[in-house]
Structure 1
Amino acid sequence: MKYFRGSFVFTLICLCLAALLGYHMTGTPTGILSVVFICLVLGILEVSLSFDNAVVNATVLTNMSDVWQRRFLTWGVLIAVFGMRLLFPLIIVGFAAHLGPVSALMLAIEHPDQYTHILSGAHTAIMGFGGSFLAMVGLKYFLDAEKEVHWITVIEQQLTKLGKLEAIEIGIVLLALLAMSQFMPAAEAFNFIVAGLSGLVAFIAVEAIGTILEAPEETTTAVAKTGLGAFLYLEVMDASFSFDGVIGAFALSTNLFVIALGLGIGAMFVRSLTIMLVKKGTLAEYRYLEHGAFWAILSLATLMFVSVYHDIPEVITGLIGAALIGIAAYSSIRWNKLNPEVN
């Protein structure tokens, strides 16, 4: 429990703020309890949908110093809660409706339904950016010519061979963007492709920063292990993971601050879980857990692309990720039992 003490304190603070918000909104005990309950539900959903994110975060954090691990848990939470869960939706709405940040905030407060409608209208572009970035994360892991440990051997061995081709993962994502755009109206297809290309550029930029800041060194995540570079990589990846969660949260509440508090609770627990995985060496103990997390990332990237055409419930996204990680953990336990001499 020592890894989650900060998360519980943070949760208590958020729930107190939620109670004050509920009192301001309704002035009734029922309204207060309703807002607090919604925050708790949003927090639980965020944790359940982001376990794969925690595992991937742990693979990067393992190679970071204690200083940068603490910064991820402190600065990273501020970025996750106030940046992604509060400021990012305002920026999207402001850009889509040609409003300034203050005007977008007032729109969220005074006309939440209109705010939600505008944010939902940016769904295609958001999914294009997030899907591209996460696809690059997943493909970079499996298209590694030097990767030796395989979980789904029949597939992963072939992907490893493809990894010998220069920039093959970029070509795959570009083809996916082009294929998906063929079935969209011209204006929507343009926005989708531009957002997807932005996701690609964001991944390359973050990777380049890490490479510039530290001498080249091989890593399992294909990202330089320098503190700042890895920190930026984690934050952009967290943003991509949270896109669908932020938008889906409006099904429970249209209040921007209720959503920020609820998802913030979940984001804090995900970070505490990440730190626990690192400190306890869970990834080293479970041989295929990392593989399951990256397969979950690829599945999420695919679902983000597909969601441009079909509404996909959050529960399906979460169950697929949880199932892949669960099966990977079981496979790891089974492998450990069959190979006790290795442990």
Structure 2
Amino acid sequence: MDTLRHFKWDLVVLLAALVVAFVYQGWGAVWLAAILIVVEIVFSFDNAAVNAKYLARMNAFWQRIFLTVGVLVAVFGMRLIFPFVIVCVTGQISPAEAVRLAVEKGNPHEPGTYGYLLEQAHPSIAAFGGMFLLMLFLDFLFDTERESTWLSWLEKPLQRVGKVDQLSAVVAGAGLLLAAQFLVGPEERATVLFAGLLGIVVYIAVNGLAAVMEDQEAAKAERFEQSAPAGSQVLLAGKAAFSLFMFLEVLDATFSFDGVIGAFAITPDPIIIALGLGVGALFVRSMTVYLVRKGTLAEYRYLEHGAHWAIGMLAVLLVLTLSFDIPDVVIGLVGLVFIAAAWVSSVVANRNELDALDELDDLLTGIAEPVDASK
């Protein structure tokens, strides 16, 4: 019951968002919004764990600010405005015009309608998003410091290959060249190459910014703990808490790039994207505070692996849409299949581990029992 109470407003917003999606475009929009909510939550699962580490240093007031004001910034900034920015840039229209055309919908085969503009901008969006997500997936696969593996028969050899420096950029660049050569015509080749290269550059910049910020904040945290009295836990307030709050907002923006870009692989409609990712972001925020207050993180060991494999599949499918017509629902389901499989694998692994510990405990108990000398 405590868990339900903690997420009660999230559930209310979830219901309202699904109703809005139904009014906007029927059951198809509801289904796509639901997929995006799940995808956003799972993609941001590791983000919640990172945020929880820093949020634990704030007092209760600033934790509430993070959950209220912070979520407004996250939802309206990255999840609502940023998708429209992508559409405006690729479609070369103003934000007001983008909103008006999106609400009007219109025939996608009629020049000037929102659907038509998205269709014209699709090569740029697919190349940019595909390369950004592919870099994220490859960096995970080639990470030599990652301790656990899910699909070990494939992940372990790729980890060994990952010792080659900048291999992710090399593979992504080769994939971009192949896509530009074989999936599009000569008239779109330059657009795809430019957008894909921009996706790789943006990923490297965003990833580098997040890493630098985390290192700086970790150093601050270490100095703070050293200056605090031994055995005490001093929670941040005032300017110190505000500084950490701003850090978390920027960090969330960098982490949310993959969710926003991945959403375009599922549907190009920024209104459905805003609904799905907005609700997902709200759940992630509540989950972060919940983890802080409970002091524990659910041990779904393979969920991060499943999320990255889903990202990888979204990247490949997004690039393939340059030449093939792949339904949005199919793309969304592919990602959910990997996520669900990883969750099941985690539950089974945890259960097997508990069974093994019980057997070991029984064995040690049997050894420790005194021997009856009369026998």
TM-score (norm 1): 0.77
Residue deviations 1:69-94, cap 9 Å, x none? 6365321111245314544423432x
C-alpha spacing 1:110/1:77, structure 2 compared with 1 (3 Å): closer
Q: Residues 124 and 188 of structure 1 are in contact (CA less than 8 Å); yes or no, is this contact kept in structure 2?
A: yes
- Residue of structure 1 equivalent to 2:260: 239
Q: CA deviation at 1:180?
A: 0.8
Give the letter for the 2:311 counterpart: I
Moved more, 119-128 or 209-218: 209-218
C-alpha spacing 1:319/1:145, structure 2 compared with 1 (3 Å): same
- Residue of structure 2 equivalent to 1:165: 164
- Residue of structure 1 equivalent to 2:29: 42
- 1:103 and 1:209 map into 2 onto residues whose CA distance is 32
| DSSP 3-state at the match of 1:149 | coil
Q: CA deviation at 1:312?
A: 0.9
CA RMSD of aligned residues (A): 3.2
Q: CA deviation at 1:297?
A: 0.6
The answer to whether 1:61 aligns with 2:48 is: yes
The answer to whether 1:320 aligns with 2:334 is: yes
- 1:135 and 1:283 map into 2 onto residues whose CA distance is 28
- Residue of structure 2 equivalent to 1:309: 323
- Residue of structure 2 equivalent to 1:266: 276
Q: Residues 292 and 325 of structure 1 are in contact (CA less than 8 Å); yes or no, is this contact kept in structure 2?
A: yes
| DSSP 3-state at the match of 1:62 | helix
Q: How does 1:176-215 map to 2 (within 5 A)?
A: 176-183=175-182, 184-215=184-215
C-alpha spacing 1:58/1:194, structure 2 compared with 1 (3 Å): same
- 1:133 and 1:282 map into 2 onto residues whose CA distance is 32
| DSSP 3-state at the match of 1:310 | coil
| DSSP 3-state at the match of 2:256 | helix
Q: Residues 303 and 346 of structure 2 are in contact (CA less than 8 Å); yes or no, is this contact kept in structure 1?
A: yes
Residue deviations 1:39-69, cap 9 Å, x none? 6752442222452332221202311233596
- 2:207 and 2:121 map into 1 onto residues whose CA distance is 27
Q: How does 1:61-80 map to 2 (within 5 A)?
A: 61-64=48-51, 65-66=54-55, 70=67, 73-80=71-78
**Any stretches of 5+ residues in structure 1 without a counterpart?**
19-33, 219-225, 250-258
C-alpha spacing 1:282/1:310, structure 2 compared with 1 (3 Å): farther
- Residue of structure 2 equivalent to 1:119: 118
- Alignment match of 1:6 (pick from 3, 6, 9): 9
Residue deviations 1:227-250, cap 9 Å, x none? 355323223222202213442x4x
- 2:273 and 2:286 map into 1 onto residues whose CA distance is 20
Q: Residues 213 and 229 of structure 1 are in contact (CA less than 8 Å); yes or no, is this contact kept in structure 2?
A: no
Q: Residues 70 and 249 of structure 2 are in contact (CA less than 8 Å); yes or no, is this contact kept in structure 1?
A: no
- Alignment match of 1:286 (pick from 300, 312, 323): 300
C-alpha spacing 1:173/1:304, structure 2 compared with 1 (3 Å): same
Q: Select the structure of larger CA radius of gyration.
A: 2
TM-score (norm 2): 0.71
Q: CA deviation at 1:211?
A: 3.4
| DSSP 3-state at the match of 2:149 | coil
C-alpha spacing 1:39/1:206, structure 2 compared with 1 (3 Å): farther
C-alpha spacing 1:206/1:106, structure 2 compared with 1 (3 Å): same
C-alpha spacing 1:297/1:244, structure 2 compared with 1 (3 Å): closer
Overall identity of the aligned pairs, in %: 27
- Alignment match of 1:92 (pick from 82, 90, 93): 90
Give the letter for the 1:174 counterpart: G
- 2:217 and 2:97 map into 1 onto residues whose CA distance is 46
Q: Residues 130 and 196 of structure 2 are in contact (CA less than 8 Å); yes or no, is this contact kept in structure 1?
A: yes
- 1:73 and 1:289 map into 2 onto residues whose CA distance is 24
Give the number of equivalent residue pairs.
Answer: 305
Q: CA deviation at 1:275?
A: 3.8
The answer to whether 1:230 aligns with 2:229 is: no
Q: CA deviation at 1:277?
A: 5.0
- 2:99 and 2:346 map into 1 onto residues whose CA distance is 47
Moved more, 163-172 or 231-240: 231-240
- 1:118 and 1:2 map into 2 onto residues whose CA distance is 43
Q: CA deviation at 1:110?
A: 7.0
Q: Residues 55 and 277 of structure 1 are in contact (CA less than 8 Å); yes or no, is this contact kept in structure 2?
A: no
Give the letter for the 2:176 counterpart: L
- 1:15 and 1:244 map into 2 onto residues whose CA distance is 20
Q: Residues 300 and 346 of structure 2 are in contact (CA less than 8 Å); yes or no, is this contact kept in structure 1?
A: yes
- Residue of structure 2 equivalent to 1:26: none
- 1:335 and 1:111 map into 2 onto residues whose CA distance is 47
- Alignment match of 1:339 (pick from 316, 340, 353): 353
Q: Residues 18 and 33 of structure 2 are in contact (CA less than 8 Å); yes or no, is this contact kept in structure 1?
A: no
